[in-house]
Amino acid sequence: MLKLNIDSKDTNSKARAGWFQTDHGKVETPIFMPVGTQGTVKAVNQNYLADEIKAQIVLSNTYHLYLRPGTEILEAAGGLHKFMNWQKPILTDSGGYQVFSLSELRKLKSDGVEFRSHLDGSKHFFTPEKVIGIQRSIGSDIMMVLDECAPYPCDYDYAKNSVQLTSNWAILNKEAFKNSNPLYSHKQFQFGIIQGSVYKDLREKSANDLLTLDFDSYAIGGLAVGEPMEQMYDLVDFTTDFMPDDRPRYLMGVGRPENILESIARGVDMFDCVMPTRNARNANVFTWNGTLSMRNAKYKDDFKTLDAKCNCYTCRNYTRAYLRHLFIAEEILALELASIHNLYFYLDLVTHARKHIIDGDFFEWKNKTINEISIKN
């Protein structure tokens, strides 16, 4: 198992501060994982990611890396760590969500999923065993099982069948993991993914099915796909009660800064989302005093830093007026500077959350912070 060493628990919520160890380094929780889908976090190089943003672990994607550059290249390079020159931990999603997103191009079967590549239309078939094999080639520190992410909305019967399929695949995922070995010199861990759409009894069944298989740890999947936010929080709160206390809990694909803080309060330790980099590329930046739209004309002669409370590379060196100019001029540097800032903000947010959990005032700090960061300027 992947042990979560707990440093402190909040007395007014389910938040906890802890850490876990991989062969590529220690990860302190709660933690946000920048998304590097294709072996790169968009618009940010690895030096900035490690030294400026202080990312402790990044996420990459099995589906995308399988299609391009392919497992043969990854193995020849010695795995993804060497290929992308990243010495810290990597988590890989199984590709299940990406295949789910290709609803027009995929066909579910009892032993896997058939899909057509979004690149060239070529036909492929993912089985749980194949997905584990691809992640052995990638060499991620944490690999996810192949699962089905049910769409929202979906009726109860669809969700029930989806959970059963995910549970059946989980058995095959576990067997494939046990019957194969890492290709490189470091240990790999495997997480199960709890599904169930918005139905609590199905969430409970999914959790119990996976717990019997004793994965190294567990994730909550299939949320933030369109359901109301309060319902998502309720389901997270419900589901974490079934997840082991001594292992890191991962909420997949979430989310906005306030979503992360509310989910930390409900017992989640790990997060990933494309939002900080996607929003950055669209000129939207997060600050401790709310969001800024950097194309707004009011910033054309605003020579203040993006965020007076931020110590990122962008805020130490450039003004709002300059960043707006770069976006208006469609300069590539705009994407880099905004992405560095947003990722730094997300990592700084979870670092502050950790500190306040340890200090014993997380719940009060969380409520105050959400009010401040939710302002749209």
Token pair belonging to 5: 């060493």
Contact 214, 1 (CB under 8 A): yes
Model pLDDT, residue 313: 98
The enclosing H or E element of 168 equals helix 156-178
CA atoms within 13 A on the CB side of 39: 21
Asked if the model's pLDDT at residue 64 lies above 80, the reply is: yes
26: helix, coil or strand? strand
Length of the chain: 377
- Annotated active-site residue 93? The verdict is yes
Distance CA 348, CA 5 (A): 21
Amino acid type, 53? I
Q: What are phi and psi of 208, to 5 degrees?
A: -65, -40
Is the Cα dihedral 341, 346, 351, 357 positive or negative? positive
Burial class (CB in 10 A: 0-12, 13-18, 19+), 290: middle
From the candidates 209, 272, 307, 348, give the one annotated as an active-site residue. 272
Region of 305 (left: φ > 0; alpha: ψ -120 to 50; beta: rest) is: beta
pLDDT in tens, 278-305: 999 999 999 999 999 999 999 999 999 9
Instruction: Give domain limits for the chain.
Output: 5-273, 280-373
Judged against a pLDDT cut of 90, whether residue 195 lies above it is answered with yes
**Is residue 150 exposed (0-12), middle (13-18) or buried (19+ Cβ within 10 Å)?**
buried
Cα–Cα nearest to 210, from 225, 193, 229, 227: 193
Query: Is the CB of residue 130 less than 8 Å from the CB of residue 114?
Result: no
74 with 92: CB under 8 angstroms? no
Kindly state the helix (H) or strand (E) to which residue 169 belongs, with its residue range. helix 156-178
Residue 234 annotated in active site: no
Q: Do 338 and 294 form a contact (C-beta atoms < 8 A)?
A: yes
Measured at the CA of 215, the angle between CA 62 and CA 28, to 5 degrees, comes to 75
Query: Which tokens go with 40?
Result: 């790169």
Least trusted range by pLDDT, from 23-32, 40-49, 119-128? 119-128
pLDDT in tens, 94-153: 988 887 777 777 888 899 999 888 899 999 999 999 999 999 999 999 999 999 999 999
| pLDDT band at residue 45 using 50, 70 and 90 as cut-offs | very high
pTM for the structure as a whole: 0.97
Q: What pLDDT does 96 receive?
A: 81
Residue 323 near residue 313 (C-beta atoms within 8 A): no
Best CATH choice for the domain 5-273 from the list 3.20.20.105, 3.10.350.10, 1.10.3720.10, 3.30.420.40: 3.20.20.105
From the list 259, 2, 331, the residue with the least C-alpha distance to 141 is 2
Which DSSP category does 299 fall into? Answer: G
From the candidates 93, 141, 209, 348, which is the catalytic residue? 93
- 375 by Cβ neighbours in 10 Å (0-12 / 13-18 / 19+) ranks as exposed
Integer angstrom CA distances of residue 260 from 163, 205, 251, 365: 25, 25, 9, 14
Higher pLDDT among residues 221 and 118, named by residue = 221
pLDDT band per the 50, 70, 90 thresholds, residue 237:
very high
Average pLDDT over all residues of the chain: 96
Alpha helices in 219-287 (DSSP H): 229-240, 257-264, 275-281
